[in-house]
Structure 1
C-alpha cells in the first residue's frame, strides 16, 4: 500500500513538472503605435517635434500616461538619449486613442543618422522612424558626460550597498 501511494505521488509530481498547454495563455494583441516627426533631417537650431498616436482596436491594454522615446545611433546601434513624451492635453479624447506630443532639442543630439524608437511602457508596443542630424548640438557633450556620471554614480552606490550589507551580516553573526 505504501508503494502505491509513493507511485501515485511521483506520478502526480511528474504531471506538475511536465509542460502543458493552457488555453487562454496567449497574450492580448498589442496596441497600434504610430510616430511622426516634424522633419526627418534636422539643421542646427531646429528642434525635433515628436508626435505619437496610440490606438487599441482589439487590445485589452490600458492606455499609458506617457510614451518613452529612445534614440539610437544607426551605424553602431549605441544608445544616445532617452526622453519621456507626455500625453497631448489639447488632443480630442477618445476611449481607444491617445495622442502624445513632445519636443526634443537638436542641441542635445549628435550628428549623423539616428533611429528614434517610441515605446509604450505598458504593453511594449513600439514604432520607429529614422532621422538625420546635420551638425552635432553644442549641448551633446555635456549630456553624454552627464549620462556617464549617472552610470558611475549608480555603480558606486550599488557597490557601497553590497559592502554595507556584507558588513551588517558580519556584525549580526558575531556573538
Structure 2
C-alpha cells in the first residue's frame, strides 16, 4: 500500500538533476581566478603645492606594480579639477620619463603644466593609469590666474561644443539616411 499523496512510480531523472543542481548552488566555491590582481601603486609629487604666476607646475609620478599582472603604460592621464566646485578644468597627458632609470616593475613619468593656463583656485590633480584605471590624487593651490587661462579655457569650451555638435549632426544625418533608404 502506498502512502497517501505519493504516486506509485519512483522519482525520475528530472528529480535527481534538480537535486544535484540545488546541491551545487548551496556548496560554497572558491574561485581565485575571478579575483582581479591588485591595482598598481601611484605616487605623485609636484614641484610646489602653492604656485604663483611665475612658476610652472612640474608633476612627477611613479608607477609600481609587477609587470606580469599589468603592462606598464606609456603615459599617464592627468585631470585637473576645481576643488571648490568639482568642475573639470583641464586634461593633460604625462609621458614616461625616458631619462630616469626605470626598473622592470617601476616606471617614472614627468610633465610640466604652464601656470599661465591655470586659474587661481585650489585644484585637485587626478593622475590615472589608462591600463588598469588606478589613480592618485593631490591638492595644489594656485594663487593667481594665469594670463592665458581665459583664452585656453575658451578654446577648450569651443572644442567641447564642436565635438557635441558634430556628434549630434552625425546622429541626425544617420537617421535621415536610414529613413531615406527604408523608403526606397
Indicate how the Cα distance of structure 1 residues 91 and 58 shifts in structure 2: closer, same or farther if over 3 A, else same.
Answer: closer
> Scaled by the length of structure 2, what TM-score is found?
0.81
How does 1:42-53 map onto structure 2 within 5 Å? 42-53=51-62
Whether the 8 Å CA contact 2:67–2:104 is kept in 1: the answer is no
Aligned length: 164
CA RMSD of aligned residues (A): 2.3
1:153-164 alignment, distance < 5 Å: 153-164=162-173
1:123 CA drift (Å): 0.7
Gaps in structure 1 of 5+ consecutive residues = none
Out of 131, 149, 160, which is 1:140 matched to? 149
Change (3 A) 1:118 1:59: farther
Q: TM-score normalized by structure 1?
A: 0.85
Give runs of aligned pairs for residues 3-82 of structure 1, distance below 5 A: 23=31, 24-57=33-66, 60-82=69-91
Contact 1:31 1:59 in 2 (8 A): no
The answer for the alignment partner of 1:149 in structure 2 is 158
Alpha-carbon distance between aligned partners in 2 of 1:21 and 1:132, rounded to the nearest angstrom: 50
Match of 1:168 among 170, 177, 183: 177
Distance of aligned partners of 1:64 and 1:143 in 2 relative to their CA distance in 1, 3 Å threshold = same
Q: Find the aligned partners of 1:21 and 1:34 in 2 and give their Cα distance.
A: 36
Mark the CA change 1:31 to 1:156 in structure 2 (over 3 Å): closer, same or farther.
Answer: same
For 1:97-112, what aligned pairs fall within 5 Å after superposition?
A: 97-112=106-121
Q: Residue 133 of structure 2 aligns with which residue?
A: 124
Shift of 1:53: 0.2
Q: Which runs of 5+ in 2 are unaligned?
A: 1-11
Which structure 1 residue ranges, 4+ long, deviate > 3 Å from structure 2?
none
- Matching residue within 63, 75, 92 for 1:83: 92
1:136 Cα shift? 0.2
Asked whether the equivalents of residues 76 and 94 of structure 2 are also in contact (C-alpha less than 8 Å), the reply is yes
1:81-100: per-residue Cα shift (whole Å, max 9, x none)? Answer: 11000000101121100000
